[in-house]
Amino acid sequence: MNPNDTSIDLSAYFARIGYDDARRPAPTLDTLRALHLLHPQAIPFENLDVLLGRPVRLDLASIQRKLVAGRRGGYCYEHNLLFRSVLEALGFRVQSYAARVLWGRADAAMPPRSHMLLVVELDEGAFVADVGFGGMTLSAPLALESGLEQITPHGAFRLEKIDPDARLPHFRLDALIDGKWAPVYRFDFDPQYGIDYEMSNHFVSTYPQSIFLHNLMAARLAPGRRYGLLNRRLSTHDDHDGTTHRDLASVADLRRALSEEIGIHLPDAPDCANPVTTADLDAALARLSASHPA
């Protein structure tokens, strides 16, 4: 692939996510919902490159080589830049924005804009699309309406309008967890450009206190399930059986979870298009095992 190529290989992407592309889909809400459901079930969230000290490249050729041809995963910029390119190629009207992550934060300090999301304009209205938020990734677009509980294939969410006196409208995404609403992130409609994501990507992949530098983070959706891996703990949320946790005792267990539950095409596979050495990966997993004992 030409590293300067800005074209999207729709056939390869559709094959990657298991979408029947016998006919080029129209830019409709039904198409958006179908793609939004399949993408996070096929392409996992993961930060292996950052953990291994490798650069995360955001040009479209590199993203396709890694997430599509290489059958790897990535984090928000990679996922949503790929998804935006697909949607735009199909004729959707898409805008890119940035969010401040609130999920898992115990303090009240204002976090940086470190997450990417999309807003898709349709005849039915505007919809938030986001296929790259780890274990809480959406599996359906959300209508951009304040206070409306929206049921997706993987749980209930809502968007709440906040800071009504701000120059730009601000919204907060909430998830319904065990009967209570929990904040996920907040965003406004200040347009973001490629260079903005390059700066944010550099920050989250190199800042010494970035959570991505010192933790293994991986996730994938499956029908009726969410898989999440944080260091050595594998969590499975099942719609019927609830949430279970399993601590992985060895490097072999970690590799098996990354391959099976998370669905990452590991680097020792001969056809991997974005290889890292088995030795490098195992060394990183061994360091995690030592720094995060069971």
Q: What whole-number distance in Å separates Cα of residue 19 and Cα of residue 67?
A: 16
What span, in angstroms and rounded, lies between the C-alpha atoms of 125 and 145?
A: 9
Q: Judge contact between 250 and 284, C-beta under 8 A.
A: no
Phi-psi region of 91 (alpha: psi -120 to 50; beta: other; left: phi over 0): left
CB 171 within 8 A of CB 144: yes
Q: Produce one character per residue of 74-110: b if its CB has 16 or more CB atoms within 10 Å, e if not.
A: bbbbbbbbbbbbbbeebebebebbbbbbbbeeeeeee
Q: Name the catalytic one among 9, 36, 49, 130.
A: 130
Among residues 36, 79, 115, 154, which one is catalytic? 115
Annotated active-site residue 202? The verdict is no
Read off the tokens for 280.
Answer: 């490098």
Q: What span, in angstroms and rounded, lies between the C-alpha atoms of 210 and 72?
A: 22
User: Has 272 been annotated as catalytic?
Assistant: no
Q: Which of 9, 39, 76, 237 is catalytic?
A: 76
Q: Is 133 helix (H, G, I), strand (E, B) or coil?
A: coil
Return the exposure string of 263-281: e unless at least 16 CB atoms fall within 10 Å of the residue's CB, then b.
bbbbbeeeebbbbbeeebb
Rounded distance, CA 265 to CA 259, Å? 6
Phi, psi of 226 (to 5 degrees): -125, 130
Spatial contact of 101 and 86, defined as CB atoms under 8 Å apart: no
If phi over 0 gives left and psi between -120 and 50 gives alpha, with beta otherwise, what is residue 264?
A: beta
115 is catalytic: yes
Active site residue ranges: 76, 115, 130
